[in-house]
Amino acid sequence: MRTSSGYLGIVLLPIFISLGIVYLVSGIRYKKSKKFRGRVIDSKEVEIVHFGRDGEIYETYYVSYAFRGKILKGEVRTTETGLRPGAKIDVYVYDPEGVHEIQSDIDWKHFKHYAMAGSVMVIMFLIFGLIAWGMEHIDNDSNYKNTVTFGNQNHTYELSEEFIENNEESLEYLHDKYGIEYKTAE
């Protein structure tokens, strides 16, 4: 039986996976991009993003930068805030096969957080999965039914083969002292 939180997890899982993929692709582009020195022309906007109690501040700047002998202009969205016109800024440009894109450090930061959270989830999944597998394995080993007779009454108990092997002497002692008979199930 599934709870409503289980269904919520199933619904949210594809969203988190797709966000993780987007951040992964953006993060890889950021890491593969080349860094160029630029100067801030003006600040376009400041954005405050809240995650629970903590907020992150991002700022978008109009910048000019030297790219392969040309002075180009563009927008850089970064976690660096409060830069004034004329301040130096690093501009990361991803330019495979002539596709010129300015990359943001924000997606790389998000990817690192997602990767850390994902690693913790995978480790927890493995731990709880192994525990569940072990419990199921233990339950499967103990399904051998053995009959123990007390006088003229038959009682059936579930005893594992390991229990029987480890306690043969005790079972023989019970038979000799109290007349308890023991038969294995067939």
pLDDT at residue 145, rounded to an integer: 52
Residue 28 lies in a domain: yes
Other CB atoms within 10 Å distance of the CB of residue 72:
16
Each residue's pLDDT tens digit, 79-103? 888 888 999 988 888 887 777 788 8
User: Pick from 72, 99, 116: which residue ends a domain?
Assistant: 116
Which band of pLDDT confidence, cut at 50, 70 and 90, is reported for residue 143? very low
The verdict on 92 and 8 lying in the same domain is yes
One domain, residues 93 and 153: no
In the chain, the number of structural domains is 2
Range of the domain at 156: 145-184
Residues 110 and 57 in one domain: yes
Q: Does residue 175 surpass a pLDDT of 60?
A: yes
Same domain, 65 and 152: no
164 lies in the same domain as 81 = no
